[in-house]
């Protein structure tokens, strides 16, 4: 039987360095670079704040203020004042990590082998990989959001209100119909619990799948272009 073809982009990130049992992967390296870049950029933008912003201060204030107004329109003024620090950080981080994945050299510079038949160098272990193309990264962000969501929901409604929202009957009824609704909404509440517990999985795979599919598409397109260039090269030489 013919061997199965390996995917253009491996599902798992490549390990670059081992420090004891701790491994530094190429996706971790990208997240560290992006995080350091965001911190430096934010420090430069807010180092000398002017009443009339300009330059990078103007861009940073536009980004933060735009996010604040956008979230306020969705979740309300009270909740956004409590949760903005998290949502803004996650949004900016994911945005810049995805942008960094489009920088030339990400996924194409690293260690590999030279194919003498096609005259193409194949990168087997890239130095850099998109941070969100690592399921570990997306899962970590989804789990943190899940835990914070539970804390914020309990703070806003209390434990009793949180449970009533899940299992309590909705609407004003009496008699036998009310008993039926109590049973129905209690059963529906358990379905809601399953849905809530599944959210970290769906969120992590959704972001990972989108970024991984995009990187795989770019990898295939670049490979096709390289092969076409290698095939037409000798013709142009004559």
132 close to 98: Cβ distance less than 8 angstroms: yes
pLDDT number for residue 155: 87
pLDDT at 160 over 90: no
Concatenated DSSP letters of the chain: -PPPPPPSS-SSPPEEEEETTEEEEHHHHHHHHHHHHHHHHHHHHHSS--SS--HHHHHHHHHHHHHHHHHHHHH-HHHHHHHHHHHHHHHHHHHHHHHHTTSTTTTTSEEEEEETTTTEEEEEEES---GGG-HHHHHHHHHHHHHHHHHHHHHHHHHHHHHHHHHS--S---HHHHHHHHHHHHHHHHHHHHHHHHHHHHHHHHHHHHHHHHHHHHHHHHHHHHHHHHHHHHHHH-
* Distance (Å, whole) CA 63 – CA 237: 51
Mean pLDDT of 51-65: 87
- Joined together, the tokens standing for residue 140 give 């970590």
Mean pLDDT of 62-88: 90
pLDDT number for residue 227: 60
User: What is the band of 28 on the pLDDT scale with cuts at 50, 70, 90?
Assistant: very high
**% of residues, the chain, pLDDT over 70:** 84
Range with the largest mean pLDDT of 91-95, 101-105, 167-171: 91-95
pLDDT at 215 over 50: yes
47 close to 41: Cβ distance less than 8 angstroms: no
pTM score? 0.78
| pLDDT tens profile 218-236 | 777 766 766 666 565 554 4
* Distance (Å, whole) CA 15 – CA 126: 10
pLDDT number for residue 228: 62
Task: Report the DSSP beta bridge partners of residue 18.
Answer: 23
């Amino acid at each position: 039987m013919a061997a199965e073809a390996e995917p253009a982009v491996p599902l798992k990130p490549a390990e670059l360095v081992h420090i004891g049992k701790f491994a530094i992967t190429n996706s971790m390296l990208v997240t560290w670079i992006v995080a350091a870049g965001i911190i430096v950029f934010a420090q430069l933008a807010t180092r000398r704040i002017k009443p009339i912003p300009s330059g990078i201060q103007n861009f940073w204030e536009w980004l933060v203020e735009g996010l604040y107004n956008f979230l306020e329109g969705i979740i309300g003024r009270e909740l956004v004042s409590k949760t903005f620090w998290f949502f803004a950080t996650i949004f900016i981080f994911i945005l810049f990590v995805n942008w960094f994945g489009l920088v030339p050299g990400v996924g194409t510079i690293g260690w590999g082998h030279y194919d003498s038949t096609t005259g193409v160098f194949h990168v087997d272990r890239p130095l850099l990989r998109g941070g969100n193309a690592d399921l570990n990264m997306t899962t970590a962000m989804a789990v943190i959001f899940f835990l914070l969501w539970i804390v914020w929901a309990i703070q806003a409604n209390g434990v009793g209100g949180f449970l009533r929202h899940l299992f309590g009957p909705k609407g004003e009824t009496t008699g036998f119909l009310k008993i039926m609704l109590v049973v129905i909404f209690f059963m529906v509440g358990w379905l809601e619990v399953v849905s809530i517990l599944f959210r970290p999985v769906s969120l992590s795979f959704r972001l990972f799948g989108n970024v991984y599919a995009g990187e795989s598409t770019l990898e295939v397109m670049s490979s096709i272009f390289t092969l076409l260039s290698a095939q037409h090269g000798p013709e142009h030489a004559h």
